[in-house]
């Protein structure tokens, strides 16, 4: 069967591409393929579901009727295992299909641990969340390897009386997400949350206990008795099935039009590697907003609406142990920065700016509703002195007096 457009992937990017195409063109023949037999859902909410803070129904963004209503042939549960860009053909476990245009939005898969055991799990999809939810139901102690955007939010949704062990190879939690100061503030918050942190450490072996739990032996010689180990060591773009067909690095290389090296093939989302708005470097941003933005750009170019993407911006918001955390743009400590911290409220704001004074990023802890403001400051290349003089940091008039910024 032939389609004008085939979309591989049914998450943020795939769904946004469908909506954009149908906003301009009601007749284009479109098919979407995904290895999961699920309607599009929010991966961001899977920790809430695994930890019993929401029901499965609340994960879904659309129901299965969405596809038919929009004239989309949905092959959900039919995985694409090969693409031939010369023949413009995709191969699935059930059939072959040809395309005029192809959008690859297959996302990424969770990095696996070298430790193999039925109670060593990752969290990337609904199936993973189902397994975790079952084990969490009677858990008294849970360990996590890695302290990033999967493991920390997931642990934070467990009951207060559950012991939570966090094992990190670095010197701090959230090391790939926030700056050092923010990491240490969060660690302070965790002290009364039944959380135990093991730094510069790793799991070396695992064995079964007589009561059905497992015992982890760490590099530091510590031992942890727990009911399961959650591995949260990042993700790997799902690009292996494209080798030899499309130029890849860590992800699929795309230009500013979200085009790949293959004719009429585009990519978006967690599998796509494109220009960072702040640094200009080729990166995989790995966040929902970037996936949506790239998919819109790709879809418009497929429709013949010539539009370029001005680059992705890091943009992550999450909740850990009742505290909102948000990061926008570039937030590494090698950049010039100013910060404000109210320890009584655990309220933290840190702004990063370049040598020319342009705001390039921000870290926020608690009450992060203003994250969109900082995103726009980065996007509009606002200068730090203009923002201070005009806005006085909105509702934070004490900010400047504490900073002594000149």
Q: Provide the strand spans (E) within 212-346.
A: 214-218, 223-226, 228-231, 235-237, 252-253, 265-267, 272-275, 282-283, 315-320, 323-329, 336-342
CA distance 126 to 37: 10
The model's pLDDT over 83-92, given as tens digits with 9 standing for 90+, comes to: 999 999 999 9
The CA angle 76-113-194, to the nearest 5 degrees, is: 100
CA distance 76 to 65: 13
> Is the domain defined by 322-403 classed in CATH 3.30.390.30?
yes
CA distance 84 to 165: 46
Q: What pLDDT score does 394 carry?
A: 46
pTM (two decimals): 0.92
CATH topology of domain 2-109+235-302: FAD/NAD(P)-binding domain (3.50.50)
Edge-to-edge strand ranges of the sheet holding 203-208: 203-208, 214-218, 223-226
Structure tokens at 104: 């690859």
Nearest to 272 by CA among 195, 292, 264, 280: 292
Structure tokens at 385: 């002195």
Tell me the domain boundaries of the chain: 2-109+235-302, 112-231, 322-403
Q: What pLDDT score does 384 carry?
A: 84
Q: What pLDDT score does 396 carry?
A: 47
Mean residue pLDDT across the chain:
93
CA distance 41 to 56: 10
Structure tokens at 232: 């949260």
Q: Which letter, b or e, does each residue of 52-72 get, where b requires 16 or more Cβ atoms within 10 Å of its Cβ? A: eeeeeeebbebeeebbeeeeb
Q: What pLDDT score does 166 carry?
A: 97
The model's pLDDT over 12-57, given as tens digits with 9 standing for 90+, comes to: 999 999 999 999 999 999 999 999 999 999 999 999 999 999 999 9
CB atoms within 10 A of CB 327: 27
Distances (CA, A) of 147 to 22, 114, 176, 216, 326: 40, 17, 9, 17, 15
The model's pLDDT over 320-337, given as tens digits with 9 standing for 90+, comes to: 999 999 999 999 989 999
Low-confidence ranges of the chain (pLDDT < 50): 390-406
CB atoms within 10 A of CB 168: 24
CATH code for residues 112-231: 3.50.50.60
Would 112-231 and 322-403 be classified into the same CATH topology?
no
């Amino acid at each position: 069967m032939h389609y004008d457009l085939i979309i591989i992937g049914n998450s943020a990017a795939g769904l946004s591409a469908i909506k954009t195409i149908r906003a301009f063109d009601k007749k284009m023949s479109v098919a979407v393929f995904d290895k999961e037999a699920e309607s599009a859902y929010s991966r961001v909410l899977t920790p809430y579901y695994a930890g019993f803070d929401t029901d499965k129904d609340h994960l879904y963004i659309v129901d299965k009727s969405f596809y038919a209503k929009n004239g989309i042939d949905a092959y959900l549960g039919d995985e694409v295992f090969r693409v031939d860009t010369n023949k413009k053909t995709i191969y699935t476990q059930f059939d072959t299909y040809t395309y005029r245009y192809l959008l690859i939005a297959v996302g990424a898969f969770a990095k696996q641990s070298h430790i193999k055991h039925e109670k060593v799990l990752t969290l990337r999809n609904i199936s993973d969340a189902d397994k975790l939810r079952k084990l969490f139901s009677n858990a008294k102690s849970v360990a996590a390897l890695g302290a990033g955007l999967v493991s920390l939010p997931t642990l934070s949704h467990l009951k207060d009386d559950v012991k939570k062990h966090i094992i990190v190879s670095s010197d701090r939690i959230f090391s790939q997400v926030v700056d050092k100061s923010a990491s240490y503030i969060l660690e302070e918050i965790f002290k009364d949350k039944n959380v135990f942190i093991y730094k510069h450490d790793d799991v070396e072996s695992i064995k079964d206990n007589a009561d059905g739990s497992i015992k982890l032996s760490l590099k530091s010689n510590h031992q942890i008795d727990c009911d399961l180990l959650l591995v949260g060591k990042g993700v790997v773009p799902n690009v292996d099935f494209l080798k030899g067909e499309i130029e890849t690095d860590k992800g699929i290389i795309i230009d500013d039009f979200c085009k790949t090296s293959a004719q009429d093939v585009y990519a978006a989302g967690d599998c796509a590697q494109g220009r960072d708005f702040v640094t200009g470097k080729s990166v995989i941003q790995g966040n929902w907003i970037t996936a949506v933005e790239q998919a819109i750009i790709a879809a418009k170019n497929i429709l013949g609406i010539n539009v370029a993407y001005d680059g992705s911006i890091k943009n992550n918001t999450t909740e850990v142990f009742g505290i909102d955390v948000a990061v926008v743009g570039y937030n590494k400590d090698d950049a010039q920065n100013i910060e404000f911290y109210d320890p009584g409220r655990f309220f933290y704001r840190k702004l990063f700016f370049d040598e020319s004074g342009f705001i390039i990023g921000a870290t926020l802890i608690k009450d992060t509703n203003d994250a969109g403001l900082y995103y726009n400051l980065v996007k509009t290349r606002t200068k730090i002195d203009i923002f201070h003089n005009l806005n006085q940091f909105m509702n934070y008039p004490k900010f400047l007096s504490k900073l002594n910024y000149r």
